Structures are given as structure tokens and as C-alpha cells.
């Protein structure tokens, strides 16, 4: 006889934990199944830890709506739960005068979608904020911040567990079968659990899991593309108080300067399209990283840059294709009652996580 709960969430990254928290707060008995031996050890721990304002994405997209909603929710949650964070703002810069029209378009878009106050700065105004900066102009996004992603996940898990949710690690879902009143979820070689609701928040593994869900046709499973990003850490202090980003590039936001809560700097991530997940850090990428860093900060010392971290974006668009939106498919999309699949939850997934949790809960209520 299988154990029965109200909802099973597969995947204990920041998004899965936020969904589990939301469902638990609504009074549901929730079980979170994680294939690895701890929560948040893949995409959720391999990112810039930036709280995004929502300035980049199309107006009608889930990325824009959930990022803007999620940003406000995230700052409020961190304040309430004592999660370390700081709203330090960021500058998006035009390296050359020829890029200024593109910067102006980005600022106009950011204002139109409601990301909060953004302001255009000329080169002198930008250097007044950041004297070490080299640019032809900049856009200031004061709502951008940084957060301790591990502390955030601990707080989400703690609140979910306080409302009855349970996390079980080393529990790979091998199949999900339809029942008349929900789902029978097979875990490992011989365990089973029944649930009215099943949420696939498996991140890089979401497509593979979807193929193990009975009744979900291939037409409802988008192709997955792996976009690897590497970061190089800077040894020593940097003369910056804001995050500094170039204008976006295909596949990502460009190699940017981020700061952690201790003030240490990293440059990254770049974009490298790969066929299979690979977190190897290639020292040969030092030269292009040094050049990208120098375009932001002419005084950078390349010898102080060292490989630090690599992550993989679970993208739904490949090289040369327009950036894809989040895919959050509920029963109305695929016809399977009680099932929600999340695909392509890349940046700004961390920022949007609490809003994603609320959105998924709404889809399941429908």
C-alpha cells in the first residue's frame, strides 16, 4: 500500500522549495523528492545570486511578470526571515557611443514594464557613481540586489517544514502513473507514493522526468538546450559598490561584474553551448574573461582572475534562436489533471521563485 499525500514536488532547488512552501502554507500535505543527497546543489547553487529587477524580458512574458512580482516578494521574505541580502543596484553600461541607442531602448522598455525607477546616466554621471568604470553611458537599476541563495533555500525549506512539508533526498522518481484520483509516483526501485498533485520542478532534469510521466505526450515536452556559464573570481578588493553589466548578448546577459555579500567580486557568466552537462572549469577561458573584465574596469589585474564556478542554464532556445520564456504547464496546457511541469526555469528563476510558487498553486487550484 502506497503512502498518500496531497502533493509531491520533484526537485529541491530554490523553485521547488518555493512551490513546496506555497502548497504547504495552503494547508496541503507536501512531500519534496530530491534525487541528490542535498537540496539546491545544482542550478540553485551555481548562479550569480542576483535579485533581478525584470528589465530584460518581453512585456507579456512570464519572466517579466513573475520576476517583478517575485522580486518584491523575495525582498519582503528575506526581511521577515532574516535572510542575508542587499539592494545595491546595478549599472548596465554602453561600452561605446554606438551602443547608446540600444541602452536607451532598454531603459524605455524597463520603464514601460514597471521594473521600478531606472535612470539613464551619461559617462560623467556613471563615473561619479563608479569612478573606476569605463563606459560611454549607463542605465541605473536601483531595485537590483544580491541574496544569500543557500540562506534563502534554508528559510524556504524551514517554513515549508513548519507547515508539515517533508523533504526526502536520494529519492529519484522513476515513473508516475495515472490514478483515478491523482498519481502514483514510483521512487527508486521499489518505493511508491500516491498524490493528488504532482509538480515537476526538476530543473535540468525536468524533460527527462516528463518522459516518465504516463499520459504526457512528447508534444508537451520542449527540447532542452544546455548553455554553460563560467565565472572567474577576483582575488582582492574591487573599487565598485554596484553590480556592473554590459548590454545583453545572445544566450545570456554578458560577462558582468557581480559582488557577493562580503564584497568579493566575480566576473561571469559567459555562454558556451554544450551537448551534455559538464561543470569543468577551463583555465584557457582566462584570456576572454580578462578582456571582458578590462572593458568594464580598465584597472583590472588579469593575474588576479582565477576560475571559480560553472553552471548550466536549462534553456528552451538554442544558439541563434530568440530567448524563450518560462514554460509552466498546468492541466489546461496538457490535459493531465493535477500535474504541473516547469521547463526552462533559468534566470530570473531565483528572483521569481516565490511568485512561481504562487503561480503553480493557482494552476493546481484551477
Specify the pLDDT at position 325: 97
Half-sphere exposure of residue 163, counting CA atoms within 13 Å on the CB side? 19
Rg (CA), the chain: 21
pLDDT of residue 167: 98
| Beta bridge partners of residue 307, listed in sequence order | 232
What pLDDT score was predicted for residue 366? 80
| Cβ neighbours of 302 (radius 10 Å) | 14
Are the beta carbons of 171 and 57 closer than 8 angstroms?
Answer: no
Q: What is the pLDDT of residue 189?
A: 87
pLDDT of residue 1: 63
Cβ pair 222, 316 in contact under 8 A: yes
Q: What is the mean pLDDT of each run of 10 residues along the chain (366 residues)?
A: 91 98 98 97 94 94 97 98 97 96 95 89 97 96 97 98 98 97 95 97 98 95 97 95 90 85 94 95 92 94 96 95 96 96 97 98 93
Three cell numbers, residue 254: 554578458
Phi, psi of 202 (to 5 degrees): -85, 5
Helix (H) or strand (E) holding 341: strand 339-343
Q: What share of the chain is helix, strand, coil (3-state, %, to 5)?
A: 35, 30, 40
* 136 burial via Cβ count (<10 Å: 0-12, 13-18, 19+): middle
Amino acid at each position: 500500500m502506497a503512502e498518500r499525500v496531497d502533493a509531491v514536488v520533484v526537485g529541491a532547488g530554490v523553485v521547488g522549495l518555493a512551490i513546496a512552501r506555497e502548497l504547504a502554507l495552503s494547508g496541503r500535505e507536501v512531500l519534496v523528492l530530491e534525487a541528490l543527497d542535498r537540496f539546491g546543489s545544482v542550478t540553485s547553487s551555481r548562479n550569480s545570486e542576483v535579485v533581478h529587477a525584470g528589465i530584460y524580458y518581453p512585456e507579456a512574458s512570464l519572466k517579466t511578470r513573475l520576476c517583478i512580482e517575485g522580486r518584491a516578494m523575495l525582498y519582503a521574505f528575506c526581511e521577515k526571515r532574516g535572510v542575508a541580502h542587499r539592494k545595491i543596484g546595478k549599472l548596465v553600461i554602453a561600452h561605446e557611443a554606438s551602443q547608446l541607442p540600444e541602452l536607451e531602448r532598454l531603459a524605455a522598455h524597463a520603464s514601460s514594464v514597471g521594473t521600478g525607477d531606472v535612470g539613464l546616466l551619461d559617462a560623467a554621471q556613471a563615473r561619479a557613481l563608479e569612478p573606476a568604470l569605463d563606459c560611454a553611458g549607463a542605465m541605473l537599476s536601483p531595485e537590483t540586489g544580491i541574496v544569500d541563495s543557500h540562506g534563502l533555500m534554508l528559510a524556504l525549506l524551514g517554513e515549508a517544514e513548519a507547515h508539515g512539508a517533508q523533504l526526502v533526498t536520494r529519492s529519484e522518481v522513476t515513473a508516475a502513473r495515472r490514478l483515478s484520483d491523482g498519481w502514483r509516483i514510483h521512487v527508486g526501485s521499489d518505493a511508491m507514493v500516491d498524490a493528488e498533485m504532482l509538480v515537476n520542478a526538476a530543473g535540468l532534469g525536468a524533460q527527462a522526468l516528463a518522459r516518465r510521466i504516463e499520459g504526457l505526450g512528447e508534444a508537451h515536452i520542449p527540447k532542452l538546450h544546455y548553455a554553460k556559464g563560467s565565472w572567474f573570481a577576483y582575488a582582492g578588493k574591487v573599487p565598485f559598490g554596484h553590480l556592473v553589466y554590459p548590454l545583453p548578448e545572445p544566450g545570456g546577459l554578458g560577462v558582468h561584474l557581480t559582488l557577493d555579500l562580503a564584497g568579493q567580486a566575480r566576473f561571469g557568466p559567459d555562454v558556451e553551448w554544450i551537448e551534455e552537462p559538464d561543470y569543468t572549469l577551463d583555465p584557457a577561458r582566462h584570456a576572454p574573461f580578462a578582456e571582458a573584465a578590462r572593458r568594464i574596469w580598465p584597472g583590472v589585474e588579469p593575474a588576479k582572475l582565477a576560475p571559480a564556478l560553472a553552471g548550466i542554464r536549462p534553456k528552451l532556445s538554442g544558439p541563434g534562436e530568440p530567448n524563450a520564456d518560462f514554460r509552466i504547464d498546468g492541466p489546461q496546457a496538457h490535459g493531465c489533471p493535477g500535474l504541473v511541469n516547469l521547463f526552462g526555469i533559468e534566470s530570473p528563476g531565483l528572483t521569481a521563485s516565490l511568485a512561481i510558487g504562487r503561480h503553480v498553486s493557482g494552476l493546481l487550484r484551477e
